[in-house]
Amino acid sequence: MTARVREFNGFLRDYVNLNQTRIDSLQSRVSSLEDYLFDDSSIADVLVDELIPQGSFAHRTIIRPATGNDFDADLLLPMEEQDGWAPEKYTIELQKALEASNRYVDKTRLGKRCVTIEYANDFHIDVVPFVTRADGLTYITHRTKNEFLRCDPLAFTSWIEDLTRTTNGHLVRVIRLMKYLRDRSSIDVPSVVLTALLAERVNIFSGNDDYNNVATTLVALVEALDDYIGPMTERPWVDDRIGQNLADRLTASGFTNLQSQVKTWARKMRAALDAEAAVSVEAWQKAFGAHFGATKVERALLASGVETYEHRIAPGEQRLDRDLGIPIKLDEQHRVRVVGRTSASASGRGRFRPLSASGNLVRVDRELTFSIEHCTVPEPYDIYWKVRNAGPEAASRKMFRGAINTGTAQIRESSNFAGSHWVEAWIVKNGVAVAHDRQEVTIVDR
């Protein structure tokens, strides 16, 4: 078996993942949009919380658009239910508020469920009114049907986050790879359906061997998907996490094409994973094309010589076993979950919410808590925490951090500067680390 970790990392970086320039531009535009809506718009008094990423934006599965296509980011706009407002009015009033700004005038388009803001540089943002009604449940609005539609995108995003941790972070990479293949094939399957079908194949009771790297995770999930949908004679039920069928968005012919294509992909990927090292790159190219295994020299950070330490041990960073002398023997019987939460908006409005509900994105100048939850290790035990910063700003400030300290079941932090960050916790029982978890945090500048 040849996993080709280096080649997968390079292929994702250079051909699949959304490049950093686009990510920075997207995050900047979202921050500016949020500031306008809350501080200057005609609907500011109706808003109850910050913009919430949803869909591929929240799941971190947006990919680089194929030539001639654009990419989009979906945002939920939490709005207070208004007496006398029909469902259609929420979207209409949102567009009016945006068109009143010099920044957004003549850039919006009224959709069925959203207002689309068109930007230069091949991307757009869809803003979806999101209403918690008197029944305590969450809805989006459908303008042309003039209806409230029951949905809970936050539950779906949290579900994806949980399964991503189960797969050691590889689920989102697999989804990106499969979206890359979809965009270069004849199949027509919505991203949310493909995402859910793959996520449902994650075995939460599986041993770590299935999810050790991108290649093994990819093959495990695609083969499981083939086993699941291959024998079907009609579209499956794909739960949206509140009991509604996402597969209603998939046509009968689209499903038939998906079945056929998944079978082909599963066969090619298994052959590539099982191939000898000398021919494995060529075998993976039969699935992903000639770009797999090729290397682009286009990384600005690498060219500048700036080391940002996203994926490497930073200077001064501690390791539990090497620096504290605590052996790590993770036990499948013992599990722990670190749950990060962010404070409300800077204005003080809104609720304290889990990071996972918004794709682990948080703006600067927010208070954060990280709590030990769902721990199956019997007490007594010790908790060890590590906080790590990464990215260009962490490098310029020389603030990568990385010390390991004992603590209680909750720690507090602040989102002081932009970049990729994470918090790790180990549960140490009788001097041995038996459980571990990691909460990702992406801090977005103003």
Structure tokens at 183: 């965009």
Query: pLDDT at residue 353 above 90?
Result: no
Greater pLDDT, 441 or 446: 441
pLDDT for 38 equals 92
Contact of 171 with 139, CB cutoff 8 Å: no
**Cβ neighbours of 411 (radius 10 Å):** 18
pLDDT for 351 equals 66
Average pLDDT over residues 56-81: 91
pLDDT digits (tens, 9 = 90+) for 112-154: 999 999 998 778 999 999 999 999 999 999 999 999 999 999 9
Query: pLDDT at residue 428 above 50?
Result: yes
* Pairing outcome for strands 71-80 and 52-54: antiparallel
For residues 204 and 245, give the distance between their C-alpha atoms in angstroms, rounded to a whole number. Answer: 22
CA distances in angstroms from 422 to 58, 195, 361, 431, listed in the order given: 17, 24, 12, 24
The pTM score is 0.89
3-state secondary structure of 290: coil
Query: pLDDT at residue 300 above 50?
Result: no
Structure tokens at 250: 């998939």
* Pairing outcome for strands 401-407 and 361-363: unpaired
DSSP codes, 27-43: HHHHHHHHHHHHHTSTT
Question: HEC states along 363-404?
Answer: ECCCEEEEEEECCCCCCCCEEEEEEEECCHHHHHHCCCEEEE
pLDDT for 344 equals 67
pLDDT digits (tens, 9 = 90+) for 366-383: 899 999 999 999 999 999
pLDDT digits (tens, 9 = 90+) for 390-421: 988 999 999 999 999 999 999 999 999 999 99
pLDDT digits (tens, 9 = 90+) for 159-178: 999 999 999 999 999 999 99
pLDDT for 332 equals 83
pLDDT for 70 equals 82
Average of per-residue pLDDT values in the chain: 92
Q: Does domain 307-444 have CATH number 2.60.40.10?
A: yes
pLDDT for 345 equals 59
Q: Does domain 16-154 have CATH number 3.40.50.720?
A: no
pLDDT for 109 equals 96
Q: Nearest to residue 221, comparing CAs of 268, 266, 278, 165? A: 266
pLDDT digits (tens, 9 = 90+) for 188-233: 999 999 999 999 999 987 665 799 999 999 999 999 999 999 999 9
Note the CATH number of domain 156-288: 1.10.1410
Spans of all domains in the chain:
16-154, 156-288, 307-444
Which pLDDT band holds residue 1 (cuts at 50, 70, 90)?
A: confident
Point out the least confidently predicted range of 117-121, 216-220, 306-310, 343-347: 343-347
Query: pLDDT at residue 350 above 60?
Result: no
